[in-house]
């Protein structure tokens, strides 16, 4: 369990050393991470790696100044040296000695049923080879198949001068199939991921084969794609596919660090209507098994389900501990860091729009002309303005209320606050999609989700004339 990483008495002494020069707050974060990855390209193993890292980060706060040091030396002398380095900012401080009284350790076990470390490399290769076979069997036009498989186990404890003492054990497994189809119109790609904060139980034969067929079929369908139209058109986002749009277009603007710096279009708007009444946006780290799930965040705070926008009205922001402490309120459980070598910051977990009561097929049927987006790719957003650009990697034309011609990759261009106002139908078919969120150089696992929904208009950056 996590409490074996560093003895409680050592953690106590490191905190006391950190606080010994009049600091306002101190924190010790100790992490043990192991990971493995494998990839298959054209039926050949390209990568079969494993690694492990252990270390600790010590954070000390004096007034508005934060000192931070990290070390791979988990001995008591090594940790004390890191504490002294982080506390150097306090050497000219107010003086006095403060000691931390730690709570009983709140530790949490992994949800994994089949530990990735118990699965032989030969079995992992067999899974990848099976995916390759299934994808190629879809059609002779499939010219290339790539399969990636990765797993990780991350154990940590975090303690601070306010008495928090907590730990977590996070096991994540990710699998993805990429296909290339070749036809008269050139080459097209398809992609299907499968990921969860669980063990190898997620890689059942059916799940692996479904992912392989899905990636192949997407590539094959796009062989007959035509250029996407340009201009402002209604867009129907398939269930799960559009969650990343709302993650980027408004999620980052609801993180308290951007809000407090007045770098968010949502600053100062709590209690105001910022979206269609059909929009209820939630960030929920408690969604067991989802990619952004955890028991406690990287500051030792329990994961929470936080309603950010309710029926179109902005209700709250996401908070880490230090920013919440400064505002005299509780953390929302959104303090996250990439590793022990990074400071925590406000980050999303599983961010999604609640399902509505419409029928997904009816939403399409009631759209005379528009674009149906089955899968979104990456995107960019300016949190200060809300302006965004996203790639649609699987899209179709809607004509006379029917999904018809596949479209080539195109961009969705818009503004987050405006798009939230343009949601006019939300279905019941809610689903989630795994992803990786980058912010200030740090990467963390997140989930995004929503049900099929319609936007009355968004700019399509297509190439059709």
Q: What is the pLDDT of residues 23-78, one digit of tens each?
A: 889 999 999 999 999 999 999 999 999 999 999 999 999 888 888 999 999 999 99
Q: Give me the sign of the Cα torsion angle 194, 251, 382, 331.
A: negative
Q: Which CATH architecture has domain 2-224?
A: 2-Layer Sandwich (3.30)
pLDDT of 90 reads: 53
Averaged pLDDT for residues 345-368: 98
CB 60 within 8 A of CB 18: yes
Averaged pLDDT for residues 75-87: 93
The SS3 assignment for 53 reads strand
Give the range with max mean pLDDT: 77-86, 98-107, 328-337. Answer: 328-337
pLDDT of 464 reads: 66
pLDDT of 379 reads: 80
Q: What is the pLDDT of residues 359-375, one digit of tens each?
A: 999 999 999 999 999 99
Q: What is the pLDDT of residues 418-433, one digit of tens each?
A: 999 999 999 999 999 9
List beta partners, residue 231. Answer: 460
Averaged pLDDT for residues 274-282: 97
Q: What average pLDDT is seen over the chain?
A: 93
Which of the residue ranges 136-140, 150-154, 381-385 would you say has the lowest mean pLDDT? Answer: 381-385
pLDDT of 332 reads: 98
Domain range annotation of the chain:
2-224, 230-461
**Torsion of the alpha carbons at 44, 377, 175 and 215, rounded to the nearest 10:** -60
Averaged pLDDT for residues 153-179: 97
pLDDT of 151 reads: 98
Q: Give me the sign of the Cα torsion angle 193, 195, 199, 201.
A: negative
Averaged pLDDT for residues 283-311: 98
pLDDT at 286 over 90: yes
The SS3 assignment for 125 reads helix
Q: Indicate the DSSP class of residue 357.
A: S
pLDDT at 80 over 90: yes
Categorize the per-residue pLDDT at 96 as very low, low, confident or very high, splitting at 50, 70 and 90. Answer: very low
Averaged pLDDT for residues 432-461: 95
CB 243 within 8 A of CB 426: no
Q: What is the pLDDT of residues 183-194, one digit of tens each?
A: 987 899 999 999
Categorize the per-residue pLDDT at 378 as very low, low, confident or very high, splitting at 50, 70 and 90. Answer: confident
- Strands 350-353 vs 442-450: parallel, antiparallel or unpaired: parallel
Give me 316's structure tokens. 């709250």
For the entire predicted model, the pTM comes to 0.94
Give me 247's structure tokens. 């993650």
Which of the residue ranges 51-55, 65-69, 174-178, 351-355 would you say has the lowest mean pLDDT? Answer: 65-69
């Amino acid at each position: 369990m996590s409490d074996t990483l560093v003895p409680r008495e050592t953690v106590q002494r490191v905190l006391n050393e950190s606080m010994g020069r009049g600091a306002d707050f101190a924190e010790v974060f100790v992490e043990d991470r192991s990971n493995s990855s494998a990839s298959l390209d054209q039926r050949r193993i390209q990568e079969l790696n494993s690694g492990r890292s252990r270390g600790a980060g010590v954070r000390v706060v004096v007034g508005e100044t934060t000192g931070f040091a990290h070390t791979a030396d988990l001995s008591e002398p090594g940790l004390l040296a890191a504490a002294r380095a982080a506390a150097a900012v306090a050497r000219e401080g107010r003086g006095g000695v403060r000691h931390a009284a730690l709570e009983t350790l709140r530790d949490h076990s992994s949800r994994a049923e089949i530990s990735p470390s118990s699965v032989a490399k030969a079995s992992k290769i067999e899974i990848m080879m099976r995916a390759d076979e299934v994808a190629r069997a879809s059609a002779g036009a499939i010219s290339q198949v790539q399969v990636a498989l990765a797993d990780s186990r991350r154990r940590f404890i975090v303690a601070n001068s306010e008495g928090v003492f907590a730990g977590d054990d996070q096991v994540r497994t990710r699998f993805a199939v990429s296909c290339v189809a070749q036809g008269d119109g050139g080459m097209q790609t398809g992609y299907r991921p499968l990921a969860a904060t669980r063990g190898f139980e997620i890689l059942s034969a059916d799940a692996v084969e479904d992912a392989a067929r899905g990636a192949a079929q997407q590539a094959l369908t796009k062989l007959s794609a035509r250029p996407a139209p340009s201009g402002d058109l209604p867009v129907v986002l398939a269930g799960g596919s559009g969650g990343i749009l709302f993650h980027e277009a408004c999620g980052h603007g609801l993180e308290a660090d951007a809000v407090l710096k007045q770098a968010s279009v949502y600053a100062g708007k709590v209690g105001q209507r910022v979206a269609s009444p059909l929009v209820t946006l939630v960030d929920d780290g408690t969604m067991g098994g989802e990619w952004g799930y955890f028991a406690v965040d990287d500051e030792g705070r329990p994961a929470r389900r936080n309603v950010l926008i309710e029926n179109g009205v902005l209700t709250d922001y996401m908070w880490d501990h230090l920013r919440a402490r400064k505002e005299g309120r509780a953390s929302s459980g959104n303090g996250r860091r990439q590793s022990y070598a990074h400071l925590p910051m406000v980050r999303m977990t599983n961010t999604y729009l609640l399902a509505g009561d419409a029928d997904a097929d009816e939403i399409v049927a009631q759209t005379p002309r528009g674009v149906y987006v089955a899968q979104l790719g990456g995107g960019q957003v300016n949190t200060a303005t809300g302006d965004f650009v996203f790639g649609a990697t699987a899209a179709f034309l809607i004509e006379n209320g029917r999904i018809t011609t596949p479209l080539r990759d195109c961009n969705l261009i818009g503004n987050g606050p405006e798009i939230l106002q343009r949601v006019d139908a939300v279905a019941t078919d809610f689903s989630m999609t795994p992803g990786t969120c980058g912010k200030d150089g740090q990467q963390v696992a997140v989930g995004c989700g929503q049900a099929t929904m319609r936007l009355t208009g968004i700019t399509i950056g297509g190439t059709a004339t």
